[in-house]
């Protein structure tokens, strides 16, 4: 049943990505249905019998599930239909990954670990949306400079976006929220590591990439506050921070599970 829900959600996400822009009510309804099916399949499989299913597929799928909800809510206040063209195909792929890569079960190490995972998923999700937003802003800026008359399926959606200044404010709002969540993830991760491994921080690739991502987003927010960073500089820092964050867990787990065929470490 859960596999069926995953596949149905992926199909609906794909349909949502292809629907023409004027059909707002239809897009909203299809998105909501896909999101419900995705969640109904994901969370019972991820949280069962006091255990947590660990794996790159489940983390990525959960992050895109929350990202879809964030886009759906933001699109009700701002014209962000262009982001749908990027978020929905990624969500469709993420929805079918858990049945293909089931990961491994880990016994919950008390409520603190559960909160750590929840905050981490929210941090990934918020900064994933910020990365999509940054890409959309880069496309928007390029389109303004080239003044191309060609619309295309994405060009028409980009032309309907809010002004770049509004997009930039939204971007930094998301980055600010994501940075707070990422900070809580790092801090709770230190506490959890001390409880489980007997030391506050293990200097493995996962933690190194996570701290590097935190430093990049911290530098971006500091540069924005005191140096007025914006435009391409802000976009580069956003995408670099997201890339290192993706490598921190999803990338490392992908290598462990798919390439090295190893379980939780």
Encode pLDDT of 88-123 as tens digits.
Answer: 999 999 999 998 888 777 766 666 677 777 888 888
Does residue 14 or residue 113 have the better pLDDT?
Answer: 14
- The first and second tokens of residue 180, run together, are 């707070």
Give how far the C-alpha of residue 47 lies from the chain's centroid of Cα atoms, to the nearest Å.
20
Question: Taking 90 as the threshold, does the pLDDT of residue 193 lie above it?
Answer: no
Q: 3-class DSSP state for residue 47?
A: strand
Does residue 13 or residue 53 have the better pLDDT?
Answer: 13
Does residue 264 or residue 84 have the better pLDDT?
Answer: 84
Question: Taking 80 as the threshold, does the pLDDT of residue 256 lie above it?
Answer: no
Quickly state the pLDDT bin for 181 (edges 50, 70, 90).
Answer: very high
The edge-to-edge listing of strands for the beta sheet with 47-48 is 47-48, 51-54, 104-107
What's the chain's average pLDDT? Answer: 81
pLDDT score recorded for residue 248: 79
Predicted TM-score of the model (pTM): 0.81
Does residue 164 or residue 15 have the better pLDDT?
Answer: 15
pLDDT score recorded for residue 148: 58
Neighbours of 100 (CB within 10 A): 10
Rounded average pLDDT over 134-148: 78
Does residue 14 or residue 193 have the better pLDDT?
Answer: 14
* Kind and range of the H or E run holding 133: helix 111-146
Question: Taking 80 as the threshold, does the pLDDT of residue 196 lie above it?
Answer: no
pLDDT score recorded for residue 200: 56
Question: Taking 80 as the threshold, does the pLDDT of residue 257 lie above it?
Answer: no
Q: Looking at 38-47, 147-156, 187-196, which range is the least confident one?
A: 147-156
What distances in angstroms separate CA 211 from CA 82, 206, 236, one per listed residue? Answer: 31, 9, 18
**Residues 168, 174, 175: CA angle, nearest 5 degrees:** 85
pLDDT tens per residue across span 215-252: 999 999 999 888 888 878 888 899 999 989 888 777 66
Q: Looking at 9-13, 147-151, 217-221, which range is the least confident one?
A: 147-151
Q: 3-class DSSP state for residue 54?
A: strand
pLDDT tens per residue across span 71-85: 888 888 777 777 888
Domain residue spans in the chain?
Answer: 2-259
């Amino acid at each position: 049943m859960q596999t069926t829900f995953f596949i149905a959600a992926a199909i609906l996400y794909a349909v949502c990505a292809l629907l023409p822009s004027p059909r707002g009510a239809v897009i909203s309804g299809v998105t909501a249905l896909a999101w419900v099916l995705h969640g109904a399949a994901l969370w019972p499989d991820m949280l069962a019998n006091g255990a947590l299913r660990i794996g790159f597929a489940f983390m990525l799928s959960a992050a895109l599930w929350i990202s879809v909800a964030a886009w759906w809510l933001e699109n009700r206040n701002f014209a962000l239909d262009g982001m749908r063209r990027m978020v929905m195909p990624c969500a469709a792929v993420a929805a079918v990954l858990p049945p293909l890569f089931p990961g491994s079960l880990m016994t919950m190490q008390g409520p603190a670990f559960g909160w750590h995972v929840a905050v981490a998923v929210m941090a990934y999700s918020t900064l994933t949306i910020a990365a999509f937003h940054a890409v959309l802003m880069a496309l928007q800026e390029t389109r303004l400079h080239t003044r191309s008359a060609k619309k295309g399926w994405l060009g028409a959606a980009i032309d309907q976006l809010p002004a770049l200044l509004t997009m930039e404010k939204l971007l930094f709002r998301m980055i600010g929220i994501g940075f707070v969540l990422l900070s809580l993830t790092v801090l709770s991760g230190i506490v959890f590591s001390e409880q489980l491994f007997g030391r506050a921080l293990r200097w493995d690739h996962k933690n190194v990439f996570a701290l590097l991502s935190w430093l990049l987003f911290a530098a971006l927010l500091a540069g924005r506050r005191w140096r007025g960073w914006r435009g391409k500089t802000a976009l580069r820092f956003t995408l670099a921070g997201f890339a290192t964050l993706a490598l921190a867990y999803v990338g490392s787990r992908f290598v462990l599970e798919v390439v090295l065929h190893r379980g939780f470490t």
